[in-house]
């Protein structure tokens, strides 16, 4: 089967105007500006199959948004090639644009002053959606997302969470095959985040749509994506299963112990990172885990013991801080 997204040696270099501070430099800036090259994305490669939900992780400025923009056709690449659904995105062919959608957290594409339902009518006209299909789709989305009253109100009167719901629904009306999501749950409360994630996951499964998701919220990525691509300083640091990420990037595990006697001092067994409510957490190098746990079990009466991978957030922090594979 042909890949949905195919990226070869994709690069994007920006020219940024740089200026030192001070008034004199500012005046000089009128006549000549110093330029600096910023390599936002450097020769990255990956393939995504249809139906995959891939998470893009990376610190700010790593190149995630730039990559997404190049794939959705908003930015011209400076080098290499990207193909989505067989098209070159930057050509912005109508056939291509009909099959994709872009959702950016906190930025609205629905018209502010009119009810969402009216904006949906506009989308129907723009995307030339079959009227019956359109009607069914709207009814379906309204039902699933519980938006019956919301779509009748002007968008500006909705709360942030409500707005996001109608926005996401609007962006999927034309049944796109590829979804580009850039921080879609930004600013939403937890229940709303879950609602949105569920909606996206179900849509993808039902339609076989490919989803490229860029998010800071690990919860988004954990909930939706099996595969993650970690982008750091314009390059791909890791491309694979989320679970493998932890395994690859960390040298430690978390050992959580509930001793029978809570007053015991267990600091001799390893580095304690947390101690509360009778439960003590250790940070233990992977290689030492068997030995340390064996000793604990033998020498101390234990009520409960668990060995865990460190939380993904910590993993990511390590990844970004080190910027390399350990």
Partner 1 sequence: MKHIAQVLLAAFKAHLIATFQYRVQEGMQMIGLLVESLIYLVVWTTVAKARGGEVGGFSTDEIAGYFIAWMFVRNITTGWSPYAMEWRIRRGDFNSLLLRPVHPIFADTSEMLASKAVAMITVIPAMIALALVFKPRFELVPWSLVALIPALILAFVLRYVLMYVLALTAFWTTRLGGLFELWYGVEFFFSGRVAPLTVLPEWAQQVANLLPFKWMFYFPLELLLGRSQPDEMLFGFAMQILWLTVMVLLIRFVWRRATRRYAAVGG
Partner 2 sequence: MHYLRLIWTYLRLSALNELQYRANLLVQMFNSVLGLAIGLAGLALVFSQTDSLAGWGPLELLVVVGVHTLIGGIIKSVIQPNMYQIAEGVQEGNLDYILTKPEDSQLLVSITRFELWRLVDVLVGLGVLIFAVSRLGQGIGLGEAVAFSVVLLCGGLIFYSFWLAIATTSFWVVRTWAIYEMFDRLYQAGRWPVGIYPSWLRFGLTFLVPVAFAVTVPAEALTARLTPLYLALALGMAALALVAARWFWHFGLRHYSGASA
* Sites of contact with partner 2 (CB under 8 A): 12-15, 69, 72-76, 78, 90, 92, 94-98, 100-102, 104, 107-109, 111, 113-114, 118, 121-122, 125-128
Binding partner selected for residue 15 from partner 1, partner 2, none, CB under the kind-specific 5 to 8 Å limit: partner 2
| Residue 223 main-chain phi, psi, to 5 deg | -70, -40
Rounded CA-CA distance 129/144 in Å is 20
178: burial class by Cβ within 10 Å (0-12, 13-18, 19+)?
Answer: buried
Which of 3, 6, 29, 50 is the binder for partner 1 (CB under 8 A)?
Answer: 29
Q: Name the segment binding partner 1 (CB under 8 A); options: 16-24, 115-123, 164-172, 287-295.
A: 16-24
Which CB atom, from 17 or from 94, has the smaller least distance to partner 1?
17
Which of these ranges, 15-23, 88-96, 221-229, 303-311, lies near partner 1 under the rule CB under 8 A?
Answer: 15-23
Q: Are 259 and 302 in contact (CB under 8 A)?
A: yes
With CB under 5 to 8 Å by kind, the binding choice for 26 among partner 1, partner 2, none is partner 1
- Residue-by-residue DSSP string for 36-103: EEEEEEEEEEEEE-TT-EEEEE--TTSSHHHHHHHHHTSS--SEEEEEETTB-GGG--HHHHTTEEEE
Nearer to partner 1, 1 or 30 (CB): 30
Q: Minimal CA–CA distance to 14: which of 61, 68, 55, 72? A: 61
Q: Which of residues 1, 30, 298, 325 is near partner 1 by CB under 8 A?
A: 30
Site residue total, partner 1 (CB under 8 A) = 7
Nearest residue to 257 via CA among 211, 235, 289, 231 = 289
Piece in contact with partner 1 (CB under 8 A), picked from 17-25, 211-219, 263-271, 272-280: 17-25
- In the bound state with partner 1, the residue whose beta carbon lies nearer, of 21 and 263, is 21
Binding flag, residue 27, partner 1 (CB under 8 A): yes
Binding-site partner at residue 94 among partner 1, partner 2, none, CB < 5 to 8 Å by type: partner 2
Closest CA to 169 of 143, 131, 149, 207: 143
The Cβ-side half-sphere exposure at 107, using a 13 Å CA radius, reads 6
CB 66 within 8 A of CB 239: no
* Rounded (10°) CA dihedral 209, 212, 216, 220: 20
Rounded to a whole number of angstroms, the distance between the first and last alpha carbons of the chain is: 35
Question: Measuring CA to CA, which residue among 224, 223, 227, 249 is closest to residue 240?
Answer: 227
Only segment of 20-28, 65-73, 88-96, 189-197 that touches partner 1 (CB under 8 A): 20-28
Using CB under 8 A as the binding rule, whether residue 26 contacts partner 1 is answered as yes
Residue 30 interacts, among partner 2, partner 1, none and using kind-specific CB cut-offs from 5 to 8 Å, with: partner 1
| Segment lying near partner 1 (by CB under 8 A), choices 26-34, 81-89, 115-123, 193-201 | 26-34
Instruction: Write out the residues near partner 1 by the rule CB under 8 A.
Output: 21-23, 26-27, 29-30
């Amino acid at each position: 089967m042909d890949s949905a997204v195919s990226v070869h040696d994709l690069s994007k270099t920006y020219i940024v105007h740089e200026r030192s501070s001070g008034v004199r430099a500012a005046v000089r800036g009128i006549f000549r500006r110093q330029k600096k090259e910023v390599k936002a994305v450097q020769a990255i490669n990956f393939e995504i199959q249809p139906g995959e939900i891939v998470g893009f992780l990376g610190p700010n400025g790593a190149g995630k948004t730039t990559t997404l923009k190049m794939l959705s056709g908003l930015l011209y690449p400076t080098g290499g090639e990207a193909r989505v659904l067989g098209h070159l995105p930057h050509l912005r062919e109508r056939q291509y644009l009909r099959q994709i959608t872009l959702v950016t957290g906190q930025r609205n594409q629905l018209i502010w002053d009119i009810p969402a339902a009216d904006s949906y009518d506009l989308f129907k006209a723009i995307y030339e959606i079959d009227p019956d299909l359109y009607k069914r789709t709207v009814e379906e989305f309204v039902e699933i997302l519980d938006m019956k009253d919301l779509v009748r109100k002007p968008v500006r009167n909705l709360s942030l969470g409500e707005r996001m719901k109608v926005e996401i629904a609007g962006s999927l009306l034309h049944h796109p095959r590829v979804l580009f999501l850039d921080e879609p749950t930004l600013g939403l409360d937890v229940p709303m985040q879950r609602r949105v994630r569920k909606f996206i996951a179900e849509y993808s499964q039902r339609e076989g749509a490919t989803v490229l998701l860029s998010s800071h919220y690990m919860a988004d990525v954990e909930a939706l994506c099996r595969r993650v691509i970690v982008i750091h300083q314009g390059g791909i640091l890791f491309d694979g299963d989320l679970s493998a990420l932890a395994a690859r990037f960390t040298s430690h595990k978390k050992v959580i112990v509930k001793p029978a006697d809570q007053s015991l001092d267990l600091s001799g067994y390893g580095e304690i990172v947390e101690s509360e409510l009778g439960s003590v957490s250790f940070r233990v190098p992977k290689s030492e885990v068997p030995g340390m746990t064996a000793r604990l079990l033998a020498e101390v009466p234990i009520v409960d013991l668990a060995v865990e991978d460190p939380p993904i957030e910590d993993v990511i922090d390590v990844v970004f801080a080190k910027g390399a594979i350990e």
